[in-house]
């Protein structure tokens, strides 16, 4: 049993927050799939690996903790306001194999490789990095490349799984109603009950191992 290898059939989740994934009152796909450029010129973003968030409530708990941390950090930096409050709205799912198929796709010649790597971060053991390595000589314009990759990621996504965190029950109108349906349709957990039960057990076992490893 490997605790760190993400297999092609594994599901990963991308969490959506207001305001960062919205443009005013509209869900904005390019803001949601925000890709940053690292020092080597690779494109990066964060995901949560289903192996460590085996149930939908785990996916949402992860999202709520992220929003809570962002708000706490903004308050500590004295930059918090109700307008900038981070509100977790839900998550979208994508298969690891869909991401790994990015290189070699028609009209996406600048993508050399695409990886999903387990990378626990900020105490979140489910955190994974999406890394897209580019051939700089084939990049005409990095902004165009980002749009092309985001268009593919969105087309391969399913969801949303909407949620309202306990911290956000004071909102008159929750922004999760503004999330758009993904092109692949709503997320359906295709695992059998037996598999789901095994994944819960596996998550506990691997979480114990990984936490000890992270502490060490």
Q: Is 155 in the site for another protein (CB under 8 A)?
A: yes
Of 76, 70, 82, 91, the residue nearest 179 (C-alpha):
91
Shortest Cβ 153–another protein spacing (Å): 10
Beta strands, E only, 30-101: 36-37, 43-49, 87-95
Q: Which of residues 60-119 bind another protein (CB under 8 A)?
A: 105-108
Beta-carbon contacts of residue 182 (< 8 Å; ≥ 6 apart): 92, 154, 157, 158, 159, 160
Q: How far is the CB of 75 from another protein (least distance, A)?
A: 20
177 binds another protein (CB under 8 A): no
Q: Is 8 in the site for another protein (CB under 8 A)?
A: no
Question: Of 142 and 171, which has the nearer Cβ to another protein?
Answer: 142
| Contact call for residue 41 and another protein (CB under 8 A) | no
Say if residue 19 is exposed, middle or buried (CB neighbours under 10 Å; 0-12, 13-18, 19+): middle
Nearest to 146 by CA among 17, 16, 29: 29
**Which residue, 11 or 150, has its beta carbon nearer to another protein?**
150
Using rule CB under 8 A, residue 171 touches another protein:
no
Smallest gap from Cβ 19 to another protein, in A, equals: 10
Within 10 Å of residue 153's Cβ, how many Cβ atoms? 24
Beta strand segments in 11-74, E: 11-18, 22-23, 26-27, 36-37, 43-49
> Which member of 151, 174, 191, 209 binds another protein (CB under 8 A)?
151
Handedness of CA 14, 19, 22, 26 (dihedral sign): positive
Indicate the residue among 133 and 151 with the shorter CB distance to another protein. 151
For another protein, give the closer residue by CB, 27 or 88. 27
Asked if 164 is part of the footprint of another protein (rule: CB under 8 A), the reply reads no
Contacts with another protein by CB under 8 A lie at 23, 28-31, 105-108, 140-144, 147-148, 151-152, 155, 183-184
């Amino acid at each position: 049993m490997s605790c760190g290898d993400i297999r092609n059939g594994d599901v990963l989740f991308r969490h959506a927050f207001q305001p960062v994934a919205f443009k005013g009152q509209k869900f904005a796909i390019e803001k949601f799939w925000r890709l940053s450029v690292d020092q080597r010129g690779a494109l990066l973003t964060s995901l949560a690996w289903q192996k460590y968030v085996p149930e939908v409530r785990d996916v949402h708990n992860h999202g709520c903790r992220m929003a809570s941390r962002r708000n706490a950090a903004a308050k500590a930096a004295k930059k918090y306001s109700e307008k900038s409050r981070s509100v977790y709205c839900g998550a979208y799912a994508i298969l690891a194999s869909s991401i790994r198929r990015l290189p070699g796709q028609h009209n996406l010649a600048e993508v050399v490789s695409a990886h999903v790597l387990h990378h626990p971060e900020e105490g979140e053991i489910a955190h994974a990095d999406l890394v897209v390595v580019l051939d700089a000589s084939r990049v005409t314009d990095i902004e165009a490349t980002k749009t092309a990759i985001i268009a593919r990621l969105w087309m391969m996504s399913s969801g949303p799984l909407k949620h309202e965190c306990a911290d956000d029950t004071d909102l008159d109108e929750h922004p999760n109603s503004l999330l758009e349906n993904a092109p692949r349709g709503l997320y359906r957990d295709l695992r059998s009950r037996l598999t789901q039960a095994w994944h819960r057990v596996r998550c506990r076992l691997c979480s114990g191992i990984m936490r000890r490893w992270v502490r060490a």
